[in-house]
C-alpha cells in the first residue's frame, strides 16, 4: 500500500500547497528482488548504481504489468522510535489526542 501525496511550492510569493492523500497499490522491494524491475526494463543499471550508492531501495506504485511508477526510496527510522512497547509512554496516540 502506498500513500501518494504531493507538495506544490511557489517561490514568488512563497506558498506551499498539499494535495489530498490517495491510497494506491504498491510495494517496497528488498535489494535481492531488484532483478524483477531490471528484467522488465523498469530501472536501468545507472539507476541501480545510484540507488545502491545511497543505501536506498526501490518502491513502485501500480501494477508491474502496466507501467508502474518506480522510485528510489529512502527508509526512515525517525517514527519507529515513537512507538514503544509500553503504550502509556508513547508520544503518538491513535484515535485520540496527543
**Over the stretch 55-68, which tens digit does the pLDDT of each residue have?**
899 999 999 999 99
Cα 80 to the center of its chain, rounded Å: 15
In a domain, 94, yes or no: no
Going along 1-98, which residue ranges are E strands? 2-4, 7-11, 14-18, 22-24, 26-28, 57-61, 69-73
- Taking the chain (98 residues) in runs of 10, the rounded mean pLDDT of each run is 93 96 94 94 95 92 93 81 59 56
The structure's pTM equals 0.68
Q: Is residue 84 part of a domain?
A: yes
Q: Number of folded domains in the chain?
A: 1
Look at residue 13 and tell me if it is in a domain: no
Is residue 41 a part of any domain in this protein? yes
Structural domain harbouring 59:
2-7+18-89
Amino acid at each position: 500500500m502506498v500513500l501518494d501525496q504531493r507538495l506544490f511550492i511557489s517561490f514568488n510569493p512563497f506558498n506551499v500547497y498539499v494535495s489530498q492523500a490517495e491510497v494506491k497499490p504498491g510495494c517496497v522491494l528488498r535489494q535481492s528482488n531488484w532483478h524483477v524491475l531490471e528484467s522488465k526494463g523498469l530501472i536501468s543499471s545507472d539507476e541501480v548504481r545510484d540507488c545502491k550508492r545511497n543505501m536506498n531501495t526501490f518502491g513502485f506504485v501500480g501494477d508491474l504489468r502496466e507501467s508502474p511508477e518506480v522510485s528510489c526510496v529512502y527508509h526512515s527510522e525517525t517514527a519507529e522510535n515513537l512507538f514503544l512497547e509500553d503504550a502509556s509512554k508513547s508520544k503518538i496516540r491513535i484515535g485520540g489526542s496527543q
